[in-house]
Structure 1
Amino acid sequence: MPNYDKLTRKEALELWKQHCADVQTATMIGRGETNAQREQRIKRVRADYSAFVDYYFPHYTQNSQTGAQTPCAPFHIKAAKEVKANRNLRAVYKWHRGAAKSTHLDIFIPLWLKCQEQREINVMVLVGKSEDNANTLLADVQAELQYNQRYINDFGEQYNSGSWEEGEFVTKDGTAFFARGRGQSPRGLRYRSHRPDYIVIDDLDDDELCENPSRVQRLTDWVKEALFGALDGGRGRFIMVGNLIAKNSVLQKISETKGVRVSQVNILDENGNVSWAAKWTRAEVQAIEDFQGYRSFQKEYMNNPIVEGAVFRQEWIRWAKRPQWRQFEEIVLYIDPSWKGSTKNDYKAAKLWGKVKGGQLWHLRAFVRQATVAEMVRWCYDLYEWAQATGVAIKFYMEANFMQDMLMDDFTKEGDLRGYQLPIIGDKRKKPDKFQRIEASAPLWERGFVFYDESQKDDPDMLRGLDQTLAFQKGMRGHDDAPDADESAISILQKHSKITNFTPSFGKRRNAKNVTW
């Protein structure tokens, strides 16, 4: 699907014309096919959505780098079957950025419904952020129907010169297509005796809208009233697609509506595997997260929008030149390894903190990765050996419950290889509720007692942990391993300090791999 964003109307038109030419070229038909072969293919593609996409849309599915075809993901096929099977579907497809949600729900699935032996669609309405946005989205459907030679060869001429305009058109077999922008009246939409029976709402939310609760509510009311009312007494497929960019959004409100089927697909599933493995490798997904940062990645690719500053604020993060190692009264490494049987998607955290005279707390080093226990263990042993060579005394702590788990085998095995065992102390503290204790530590940042070693300002583990800290909030679905380890290390350092946790101030706060020692 061409990207028309930020183009002038003239530029967009030229891009669309080039797209049409590409469609025509990519779908040229070979000679010598018999009618029997053609009929056999038609029967197959009507029943098999993946085969339908592969054959008619090579210009979408071809990998621009390798030239190979990228097959549909399992969630694409599941959605197509679900839409086809239910003529009165109410559904939200909450798919991550890059999941081809618009391509499938706006183009491929409607055209698959249209080519069935008994046509499954009569009037389609495509709704976008604005009228222009909706028109450009619909133009891609128009391009396929007018220029896709394979589709035309199998299902007949679609172009209807008497009714083929921007934003609305009717094919030769009488299927009507309309585009509408958000808030634009859909009342009275029909073609002949048919009212809309396929309405798809595409990426209705944006950041500006979601900052205004009253606008979100008004638009939600418009979706439920005027737009849903365009169906024939509620009959028809009513679909919304997008990724969850804010908890206060139309997408979220429609998702919470009784009777609405919600399909949520994140780029990584609950086990840390890539949802569309035919398109991305795990390393490519990790590179996306490394570039975007934790919060942006969670918002765009994990359907997990996080409000920065809900507990910790950016202006509380103070980078400074670290005191000499000999000036630290105590240095603690707190290890939070996650359970041995937990998913690959979990983070493992090891945080090095120190305390100097006067009560200043220094965050010195970090390991925050979606890694194996063995990788974390090696990092801890490397840190210990560096500390021994440098003359720095570090106390190693881990929650006592973890020390009873099988993960201690990894520490023992590494110790056997190196000829010594890491001196880990079990943390037997009876920990209160995680959110309460992490929030209770936040005033130490606010009052200026916490500092970050500026030599680590570009360290990816340190930054990843900092992202988790700034993203921390009650009920969060993201990862909190880093701030949890921070609080545990600070709690140990505070045992012999005159500083105590301050009472947190409640109320809305505004938003704001190689180890080198």
Structure 2
Amino acid sequence: MLFSKEELDEFLISNEQKHENTPNELKGAMQRKDFLEWMDELKNELKTQFLHESHLDPTLKEERIKRASVDFDYFARTYFPHYFTIKGECGLHLHLNEVFTKIALKKESKGEKHAIAAPRAHGKSTYTSQLFPLWCLVFNYKSFIVEISDAVELMEGMLEAIKAELEDNPHLKLDFPEVVGIGKTWRVGEFVSNNGVKIKAFGSGKRLRGVRYGVKRPDLVILDDLENDTNVRSKDQRDKLEDWVDEAVLNLGSADGSLDVLYIGTILHNDSVLSRKLKLGFWNPKVFRSIEEFPQRLDLWDEYAMLYRNADFNTAHQFYLKNKVLMDKGAKVLWKEAKSLEDLMKLRAENLKAFNKEQLNNPRSENQIFSLDSINFYDVLPPISQYYMYIDPAGEKAKSDFTAITIIGKGAKGFYVAESIVKILKAQSIIKTIFNLQKIYKCRLIEIETNGGQFFLKKWLQEKSLESGVFLPLRGKNNSVSKFERIESLSLAFENEELFLHKSQTMLINQLLEFPEGKNDDAPDSLAGAFLLARTKSSIKRRKHHFNSVSRIRRF
């Protein structure tokens, strides 16, 4: 790529200042002229990194082409070595390799959607918006590729980088002479290669209706960082952009549904368009974080951060070297050769909010209460002494509301969520689900929220219990504490390591992360009810045991 989003923003700000006194009727044209000159300079700089002659063995040409046609990683590293100066394996790149191969070499005509969240500075745009289109172009896997970003200038720069490779890359010239060179259409933001593949750039939200290449419609769309830090703050803007993606972008392809869509970016807001798509299974979602597993001794890293902020980097670095074994233990980094654990923890010390957003894909709003770091997880359910169930049924008049059912168990070290069911259920389905859960878990007590006109469900459950002979230890719960306070109280339970979830409970986790600004909070509300019920009953039980033991001692 010719420039990053940050470099583009810096140029545009500088250029705006340069032309602050330019007449309005001339300003736009002059700013555009400056941008094109700047981009051309960067394109020429890129070309200086190319070798004058290819070092590839001409006698192995056919062998290379055959392998490169089915192996994206081999293709990229063989023909574009100047992009692979950093060694090491990165999970993001391995996943992208799988996705690219699936899209390019698929046998069926049905299109696919892929949504991928990637941390900053991990090569996502170089791989997705430059090298992958080149692979599709060289081997004619796609005929019309559309690339879209928040700023069209960013994609124009990406296309210029692709054109630079086609113009002067010696390895491509050796093995693909019929592809390289300037094509019949060769403009900024749009070109057609000599083997007839078209690539066109757009900015997000722009008019796309009727985009064609002769009789062909796009067969691959790449969405790369569609949102920016400003427009993502507005729910109205987020809704508009999602509508544009769903209505304009996804309908760009032909009527046979063969369009492939690859959406990659960094999550800038917990309700961003990318974040929304990552919650949909048919988008084949995948989230990557620069730190996949945090080190065990975060207390030492807190000391490191204090030294880094209050002394200097050298002092902090010496502290790290002295305690490296302990401070590295348990950590797993996405691409350690590019960003080491210390590099990342330094970013964390500089600005935790920015680090969570840009490196962990876990943005936090000012009002956010829960984060992935604050939630405790278990892998295998430990021995449980008692189970409890809490039911938060959908409102009587809200046909689309979710019913949330939580099963929580008391273990030796705390309370464990065994089940978190969040579905749109009719009354009979709710009743059936509750009885099935009770047969499995034999809950000591079941509470059902009766606020909002849900008394009928409690009555039906009691009647069904008598009919079936299955005992339901059921009681109603009329909440007087506000929903916000109930859910907020869970933060202390997580902080005290009393409450544990399983990573498979994705809807519960997502709603916790989005609280209090998310669209739904049924799952956290049900969890709060279940935790309060289990904790209260366990506490009462302990007090009763203590009282009885004292009484027996006194009798003797």
- The TM-score range, normalised by the shorter chain, is 0.5 to 0.7
Query: Displacement, 1:47?
Result: 2.8
Query: What is the number of residues matched between the two proteins?
Result: 334
What pairs up with 1:296-445 in 2 under 5 angstroms? 296-310=354-368, 435-436=488-489, 438=491
Percent identity of paired positions between Structure 1 and Structure 2: 24
Please list the CA deviations of residues 192-212 of structure 1 after superposition, one character each: whole Å capped at 9, or x if unmatched.
Answer: 232101101111112222222
CA gap of 1:254–1:47, structure 2 versus 1, over 3 A, is same
Task: Determine the structure 1 residue equivalent to 2:203.
Answer: 181
Within the candidate set 241, 248, 253, 2:264 is matched to 241
**1:291 correspondence with 2:350:** yes
**1:476 correspondence with 2:513:** yes
**1:128 correspondence with 2:153:** no
Is the CA contact 2:71–2:101 (under 8 Å) kept in the aligned structure 1? no
CA gap of 1:263–1:84, structure 2 versus 1, over 3 A, is farther
What amino acid sits opposite 1:297 in the alignment?
A: F
Query: Displacement, 1:280?
Result: 2.3
Moved more, 192-201 or 276-285: 276-285
Q: What is the DSSP-based 3-state SS (H/G/I as helix, E as strand, rest coil) of the residue aligned with 2:221?
A: strand
Within the candidate set 152, 159, 163, 2:181 is matched to 159
Is the CA contact 1:339–1:402 (under 8 Å) kept in the aligned structure 2? no
Q: Mind listing any 5+ residue stretches in structure 2 that lack a counterpart?
A: 16-31, 294-329, 381-410, 415-484, 496-509, 516-556
Within the candidate set 122, 132, 151, 1:109 is matched to 132
Task: Determine the structure 2 residue equivalent to 1:79.
Answer: 99
TM-score by length of 2: 0.53
Task: Determine the structure 2 residue equivalent to 1:5.
Answer: 9
What amino acid sits opposite 1:245 in the alignment?
A: L
Name the CA distance, whole Å, in 1 between partners of 2:95 and 2:55.
36
Please list the CA deviations of residues 66-124 of structure 1 after superposition, one character each: whole Å capped at 9, or x if unmatched.
Answer: xxx566643343333333344612111111112211111111111112223xx211001
Name the CA distance, whole Å, in 1 between partners of 2:191 and 2:166.
11
What amino acid sits opposite 1:115 in the alignment?
A: V
What amino acid sits opposite 2:278 in the alignment?
A: S
Task: Determine the structure 1 residue equivalent to 2:167.
Answer: 146
CA gap of 1:256–1:30, structure 2 versus 1, over 3 A, is same
Name the CA distance, whole Å, in 2 between partners of 1:437 and 1:186.
46
Query: Displacement, 1:126?
Result: 0.7
CA gap of 1:34–1:95, structure 2 versus 1, over 3 A, is closer
Is the CA contact 1:210–1:216 (under 8 Å) kept in the aligned structure 2? yes
Query: Displacement, 1:273?
Result: 0.8
CA gap of 1:185–1:433, structure 2 versus 1, over 3 A, is closer
Name the CA distance, whole Å, in 2 between partners of 1:188 and 1:250.
24
Query: Displacement, 1:258?
Result: 5.4
Please list the CA deviations of residues 268-306 of structure 1 after superposition, one character each: whole Å capped at 9, or x if unmatched.
Answer: 22474111233222222222212222x221111111111
Is the CA contact 1:23–1:144 (under 8 Å) kept in the aligned structure 2? no
What amino acid sits opposite 2:244 in the alignment?
A: W
**1:196 correspondence with 2:218:** yes
Is the CA contact 2:72–2:135 (under 8 Å) kept in the aligned structure 1? yes
Moved more, 240-249 or 30-39: 30-39
Name the CA distance, whole Å, in 1 between partners of 2:274 and 2:377.
34
CA gap of 1:199–1:23, structure 2 versus 1, over 3 A, is same
Task: Determine the structure 1 residue equivalent to 2:423.
Answer: none
Please list the CA deviations of residues 29-59 of structure 1 after superposition, one character each: whole Å capped at 9, or x if unmatched.
Answer: 5478654312222223223222222222233
Q: What is the DSSP-based 3-state SS (H/G/I as helix, E as strand, rest coil) of the residue aligned with 1:26?
A: coil
Question: Which is helix-richer, 1 or 2?
Answer: 2
Name the CA distance, whole Å, in 1 between partners of 2:164 and 2:331.
37
Name the CA distance, whole Å, in 2 between partners of 1:279 and 1:441.
33
Within the candidate set 158, 167, 172, 2:194 is matched to 172
Name the CA distance, whole Å, in 2 between partners of 1:92 and 1:210.
17
CA gap of 1:438–1:5, structure 2 versus 1, over 3 A, is closer
Is the CA contact 1:266–1:302 (under 8 Å) kept in the aligned structure 2? yes
Task: Determine the structure 2 residue equivalent to 1:218.
Answer: 240
Is the CA contact 1:435–1:474 (under 8 Å) kept in the aligned structure 2? no
Q: What is the DSSP-based 3-state SS (H/G/I as helix, E as strand, rest coil) of the residue aligned with 1:184?
A: coil
Q: What is the DSSP-based 3-state SS (H/G/I as helix, E as strand, rest coil) of the residue aligned with 1:79?
A: helix
Name the CA distance, whole Å, in 2 between partners of 1:296 and 1:108.
28
Please list the CA deviations of residues 163-213 of structure 1 after superposition, one character each: whole Å capped at 9, or x if unmatched.
Answer: 111111111111011111112111221212321011011111122222221
**1:261 correspondence with 2:295:** no
Query: Displacement, 1:224?
Result: 0.9
Q: What is the DSSP-based 3-state SS (H/G/I as helix, E as strand, rest coil) of the residue aligned with 1:127?
A: strand
Query: Which has the higher relative contact order, 1 or 2, with Cα contacts under 8 A spaced 6 or more apart?
Result: 1
What amino acid sits opposite 1:124 in the alignment?
A: I
Task: Determine the structure 2 residue equivalent to 1:279.
Answer: 338
Q: What is the DSSP-based 3-state SS (H/G/I as helix, E as strand, rest coil) of the residue aligned with 1:476?
A: helix
Query: Displacement, 1:159?
Result: 3.2
Is the CA contact 2:70–2:105 (under 8 Å) kept in the aligned structure 1? no
Task: Determine the structure 2 residue equivalent to 1:21.
Answer: 44
Name the CA distance, whole Å, in 2 between partners of 1:219 and 1:248.
12
**1:205 correspondence with 2:227:** yes
Within the candidate set 73, 77, 97, 2:120 is matched to 97
CA gap of 1:40–1:161, structure 2 versus 1, over 3 A, is closer
Name the CA distance, whole Å, in 2 between partners of 1:57 and 1:34.
15
What pairs up with 1:33-44 in 2 under 5 angstroms? 35-44=58-67
